[in-house]
Structure 1
Amino acid sequence: MSKFGLREISTFLVALFFGTGLVICSKAILSMPISNSTSDGSGGGDDHDNESSTTTFQKPLLLTFGMFFASLPGLPLHWLVLAFRIPFPGYDFDVGSEEVDDVCKDDAIEEGIKKVVTLHEDATVGTKRRNNVLMPMWMYFYLAIPAIFDFGATVFCMVGLQYLDASVSQMLRGSVLVFVALMKQRVLKDQLYKFHWVGVFWIVMSVTFVSAATLLLSVSSSSFEDGEGSSSHHVTTSLIVLGLCQIMFGTFLQACHFVSEEHMMRMSIPVPPLLLVGMEGFWGTVFCICVMFPVGYYLPGSDNGSYEDPFHTWDVFVHSRNIQMVFGIYLFFAFFYYLFAILVTFMQCSVWNALLDTFRPITVLVTELFIFYCVSPLIGEMWTKYSYLQIAGMAGLIYGTAIYNAPNGGSLRLEGQWWALGINLSKEYDEIRREHEVKPKRTNSSVNLLEPTLKPMT
């Protein structure tokens, strides 16, 4: 059982807002047209003719780079919080040291000055590390692990987003909860109950509904002459399937990323959220420059003979103010989404970070429909006859998530109700409550270091 008060709810909703804006901006950039003159001036114009004016800005690797580049401000913010001791979640500057001083003064006479001073120094160093003042150098390299997972997840999800609607992509990524649940049991050794797996089952069924709706829509609009479907449907069925596979594999890597972040913030030397954001941005930027862009340039493709030509990308970027403006908004949403998503993991656990990807499809679909009918059909998503399957998938995602989150507040408990389909798991909920009630209260760890040496004063 976990606390989910006003602060936790506010953090989750803010992360949901910025996550929705991030997805909308990503799809908008990938759908923006490239002018004919810009395409021809890129230097490899043998493959471009006068029809190239209809080409869209299909540059997923640039968006991947932007995700990590936007996280770099986390490092100066981390140092600013440490320098001025600014109150921020994950930074506890005033915990422990004063209590150690008081205990040492009272017991120095009985135990000997040397022994107490040694324990005091050890406790002070431990307190500083727990309060993020001291951080060993190896930790900065160790933080490359979640960055690697995030790098792979972002690449695959951005590439797959080219062939799918934004809301469909987010609904598929909602299956991250399945992978997180498996890894929390196998890697973090957390116990999962039967109701957890019931929730996972409904989430899997929801992802199946969404995938079926996507494939049916791609088949029915294969001629592309009836105008049904949004701009993302102007691809073949094989590319739709490829996009689905890429999104699912990226979702698996994203689950590894969430679990590794939770592990980093739960270690004996916990990593503060701002440092985690900044170092993931640093390592991700290094991977993009040293690995992703060179590989994308030398891989064969339709972008001037490359999968993605960074020189052509730069040429298009500097000649398009619209792309620059939307990309700037994209960076803004990316930083705050990363920051608040990690705060959600810090305040709750990696499952709640995964729940962001479960709830985002709802806000993304509503926003996409609004954009299509009220702003521009080029970057929005229209309602089709298969959208009902997507709604069914959303309902299943919410239902499975509410079951998984039991017995916390706002969840659904399977106790034989009609909507529980006769499943009664009351004994499991009672067992969790009993364990929660008898769980011992936490004590200050710096005081515990001195407890074995204390004796009554005579």
Structure 2
Amino acid sequence: MSGGGSDSGKKCGLFELIVFVVAIVFGTACSILSKTMMSLHGEGKTGETEQFEKPIFQTFGMFLGMCFGLVMHYVVCCFRIPFPGYTHGADVINGATTTTSETTALLALKKGEDSAGQPTTPTWMYFFLAIPAIFDLGATALCMMGLRYIDVSIYQLLRGSGIIFVAIMKQHILKDHLYRFQWVGVFFNVLSVFMVGSTAILSESKKDHPDEDDNGSAGRAFLGILLVMLGALVQAMQFVFEEKVLTMDIPSPPLLLIGMEGLWGTILCLVVVYPLVYLLPGDDHGSYEDPFNTWFMFKNEPHIQIAFAVYFVAIFGYNFFAVLVTFLLNSVWHAILDNFRPITVWITDLFIFYVISTSFGEQWTVYSWIQVAGMFVLLYGTAIYNAPNAGSISLEGDWFALGLDFSPEYDSIRREELEREQDEQFKQRMLHHKMGSSFFGEIPPSLV
């Protein structure tokens, strides 16, 4: 829940929790598969065996997978399949059943549907949805450039701090003011990210780079940190923009948002990004990433094809459920979702190493206890943010509240929830009365 605005009435219930957990599963699979695909080898265009380190290709694959959202969007619309964010001129309206053509017409007029009850989307919306694709592409490019100068552990740590940008923009741009206890939840989320990231940093040995000049190394590290932080900022702009698009007066259905973002991202990769990275100097046959070499390796190596196919499904599943998280909850929850990924990836890596094969995964170290503590801090912060809903933690002066007491805010939320339920019940009674009215031309007030 949030202090107001478009989040009014939203809370993390059982259904939202299931969507959130499924998104974590797909997100974890994406990270593992991305890491696995980067470690595969295949024959390059020169005939030599090369490692398939192709970050731009994975970005392209991400957008391509998201395009499947357009297929699902039109299937949902054509077959009138019940789905979050879609209305099909249902016969049951706020508990009042009706079968008259007048009701269908009124619903179509109100919700922007045709006479058959199908959702209609203005043409400009299809072009408007290029904006989140540009944000996503910009964030990925900045983070990938920054990753060249810093360790992966620091990279993950900096990406996780993006929740701060999301919370600030949500409050000052979307005007959804967070309660003070929610800011406390955000703080613990950020703290957990730093704890998890610190374990990998502590595990790094300085002897890996004994001959490197300190000043040059510091300068490159600073540039890397700056680029990744800019990427986190742009990613936060994407999350907030997606929430805005999903809650506008003429909202974009979630599947259309995913599909169009994927379509625009695919086009931008083909006509802008790939020509650019081909011209930029690098280690891939003289280019930052050579698309011709990528295609040659992909075409001739079945293992890469299989890994990409699974990655394609996983990346669509993750983006699909992540957008649902934004729709059902808000953009801060989307950022919290991303903060769970380093921990779930770490747990999965431990499982792979000790249960499946020691050739993959990650080994337990003395610093792993910090990651365990970070996991509990993350769960603690998320439970605080979700208060006072079921399964959450309310800070009301108890020992686990660390002396913090936000009882007046919780009472205010409960009063607003009660008033909203009473108002909804009143509207249902009035609508039922209006539907039974003998005055055919009268429009129910809740449909105006």
Matched, 1:302 2:264: no
Matched, 1:441 2:427: no
Kindly state the Cα deviation for residue 360 of structure 1 after the two structures are TM-superposed: 2.2
Shift in alpha-carbon separation, 1:198–1:373, aligned structure 2, 3 A: same
Q: 1:365-408 CA distances to partner (integer Å, 9 max, x unpaired)? A: 11112223444455422223333333333333222222222222
Contact kept in structure 2, 1:27 and 1:161, CA below 8 Å: no
Match of 2:188 among 199, 202, 205: 202
Shift in alpha-carbon separation, 1:192–1:370, aligned structure 2, 3 A: same
Match for residue 10 of structure 1?
A: 18
Deviates more, 1:246-255 or 1:56-65: 246-255
Relative to the length of structure 2, the TM-score reads 0.81
Kindly state the Cα deviation for residue 105 of structure 1 after the two structures are TM-superposed: 7.7
Question: SS at the partner of 1:383?
Answer: coil
Matched, 1:60 2:55: yes
Gaps of 5+ in 1: 42-51, 107-119, 225-235, 453-458
Kindly state the Cα deviation for residue 141 of structure 1 after the two structures are TM-superposed: 0.6
Question: SS at the partner of 1:406?
Answer: coil
Gaps of 5+ in 2: 2-9, 211-216, 436-441
Tell me, in whole angstroms, the C-alpha distance in 1 between the residues paired with 2:178 and 2:316: 33
Match for residue 179 of structure 1?
A: 165
Question: SS at the partner of 2:205?
Answer: helix
Shift in alpha-carbon separation, 1:218–1:240, aligned structure 2, 3 A: farther
Tell me, in whole angstroms, the C-alpha distance in 2 between the residues paired with 1:68 and 1:344: 19
Match for residue 320 of structure 2?
A: 339
Tell me, in whole angstroms, the C-alpha distance in 1 between the residues paired with 2:221 and 2:193: 15
Matched, 1:91 2:86: yes
1:269-418 aligned at under 5 Å gives the runs 269-377=250-358, 379-418=360-399
Identity of aligned residues (%): 48
Kindly state the Cα deviation for residue 329 of structure 1 after the two structures are TM-superposed: 0.6
Match for residue 214 of structure 2?
A: none
Matched, 1:127 2:111: yes
1:163-174 aligned at under 5 Å gives the runs 172-174=158-160
Shift in alpha-carbon separation, 1:80–1:211, aligned structure 2, 3 A: closer
Query: Larger Rg: 1 or 2?
Result: 1
Matched, 1:429 2:410: yes
Match of 1:154 among 140, 162, 173: 140
Shift in alpha-carbon separation, 1:438–1:193, aligned structure 2, 3 A: same
Contact kept in structure 2, 1:30 and 1:58, CA below 8 Å: yes
Kindly state the Cα deviation for residue 78 of structure 1 after the two structures are TM-superposed: 1.3
Q: 1:321-349 CA distances to partner (integer Å, 9 max, x unpaired)? A: 11111111100101111112112222222
Match for residue 46 of structure 2?
A: 40
Contact kept in structure 2, 1:68 and 1:281, CA below 8 Å: yes
Shift in alpha-carbon separation, 1:56–1:159, aligned structure 2, 3 A: farther
Shift in alpha-carbon separation, 1:319–1:102, aligned structure 2, 3 A: closer
Deviates more, 1:1-10 or 1:63-72: 1-10
Tell me, in whole angstroms, the C-alpha distance in 1 between the residues paired with 2:275 and 2:337: 32
Contact kept in structure 2, 1:180 and 1:259, CA below 8 Å: yes
Matched, 1:75 2:70: yes
Tell me, in whole angstroms, the C-alpha distance in 1 between the residues paired with 2:274 and 2:282: 13
Count of residue pairs brought into register by the alignment: 416
Relative to the length of structure 1, the TM-score reads 0.79
Question: SS at the partner of 1:40?
Answer: coil
Aligned residue type for 1:140: Y
Aligned residue type for 1:367: T
Match for residue 143 of structure 1?
A: 129
Note the aligned Cα RMSD (angstroms).
3.5
Question: SS at the partner of 1:285?
Answer: helix
Aligned residue type for 1:342: V
Shift in alpha-carbon separation, 1:102–1:58, aligned structure 2, 3 A: closer
Aligned residue type for 1:85: R
Aligned residue type for 1:83: C
Aligned residue type for 2:186: V
Q: 1:131-150 CA distances to partner (integer Å, 9 max, x unpaired)? A: 66211100101111111112
Aligned residue type for 1:25: L
Question: SS at the partner of 2:294?
Answer: helix
Shift in alpha-carbon separation, 1:268–1:441, aligned structure 2, 3 A: same
Tell me, in whole angstroms, the C-alpha distance in 1 between the residues paired with 2:228 and 2:36: 18
Shift in alpha-carbon separation, 1:88–1:5, aligned structure 2, 3 A: same
Q: 1:113-165 CA distances to partner (integer Å, 9 max, x unpaired)? A: xxxxxxx9786333334966211100101111111112223334556678888
Shift in alpha-carbon separation, 1:164–1:22, aligned structure 2, 3 A: farther
Tell me, in whole angstroms, the C-alpha distance in 1 between the residues paired with 2:423 and 2:270: 48
Matched, 1:192 2:173: no
Match of 2:34 among 26, 30, 34: 26
Tell me, in whole angstroms, the C-alpha distance in 1 between the residues paired with 2:242 and 2:159: 18
Tell me, in whole angstroms, the C-alpha distance in 2 between the residues paired with 1:245 and 1:33: 32
Shift in alpha-carbon separation, 1:223–1:379, aligned structure 2, 3 A: farther
Question: SS at the partner of 1:413?
Answer: coil
Kindly state the Cα deviation for residue 170 of structure 1 after the two structures are TM-superposed: 5.3
Tell me, in whole angstroms, the C-alpha distance in 2 between the residues paired with 1:397 and 1:322: 36
Kindly state the Cα deviation for residue 14 of structure 1 after the two structures are TM-superposed: 1.6
Tell me, in whole angstroms, the C-alpha distance in 2 between the residues paired with 1:69 and 1:180: 26
Aligned residue type for 2:111: T
